[in-house]
Amino acid sequence: MSDPLRVSLSSSSVYPGSTASAFEAAARLGYDGVEVMVGIDDVSADIDAVVALSEFHQMPVVSVHAPTLLLTQRVWGTDPWGKLHRSADMARAVGATTIVVHPPFRWQRDYALEFEQGIADLEAEHGLVYAVENMYPWRTGKREFQAYAPGWDPVVHDYAHVTVDLSHSGTARQDPVQMVRDLGPRLAHVHIADSLGSAKDEHLIPGRGSQPCGEFLRAVADSGYTGEIVVEVNTRKALDARTKEADLLEALAFSRLHTS
- Average pLDDT of span 18-43: 97
Confidence grade of residue 116 (pLDDT, cut at 50, 70, 90)? very high
pLDDT bucket at 122, cuts 50 / 70 / 90 = very high
Q: Give the pLDDT of residue 70.
A: 87
Helices 241-257/213-222 angle, 10° precision: 50
Spell out the domains of the chain, with CATH numbers in brackets: 7-257 (3.20.20.150)
What end-to-end distance do the CA atoms of the chain give, in Å?
Answer: 10
Calculate the alpha carbon distances from 33 to 23, 46, 83, 174, 186 in Å: 8, 18, 23, 28, 22
Confidence of residue 249 (pLDDT cuts 50, 70, 90): very high
The reported pTM is 0.96
Assess whether pLDDT exceeds 80 at residue 41: yes
What is the average per-residue pLDDT within 173-189?
A: 98
pLDDT for res 85: 98
In the predicted model, what is the mean pLDDT of residues 19-41?
A: 97
Indicate whether 256 pLDDT > 60.
yes
Q: In which band, very low, low, confident or very high, does the pLDDT at 206 lie, cut at 50, 70 and 90?
A: very high
Flag whether pLDDT at 124 surpasses 90.
yes
- Number of C-alpha atoms within 13 angstroms, CB side, residue 6? 19
Distance CA 15, CA 167 (A): 17
Between 145 and 111, the more confident residue is 111
Write out pLDDT tens, residues 54-96.
Answer: 999 999 999 999 999 988 989 999 999 999 999 999 999 999 9
Q: What is the mean pLDDT of residues 204-210?
A: 97
- Mean of pLDDT over the chain: 96
Burial class (CB in 10 A: 0-12, 13-18, 19+), 201: middle
pLDDT at 23: 98
What pLDDT band is residue 1 in, cutting at 50, 70 and 90? very low
Percent of residues, the chain, with pLDDT higher than 70: 99
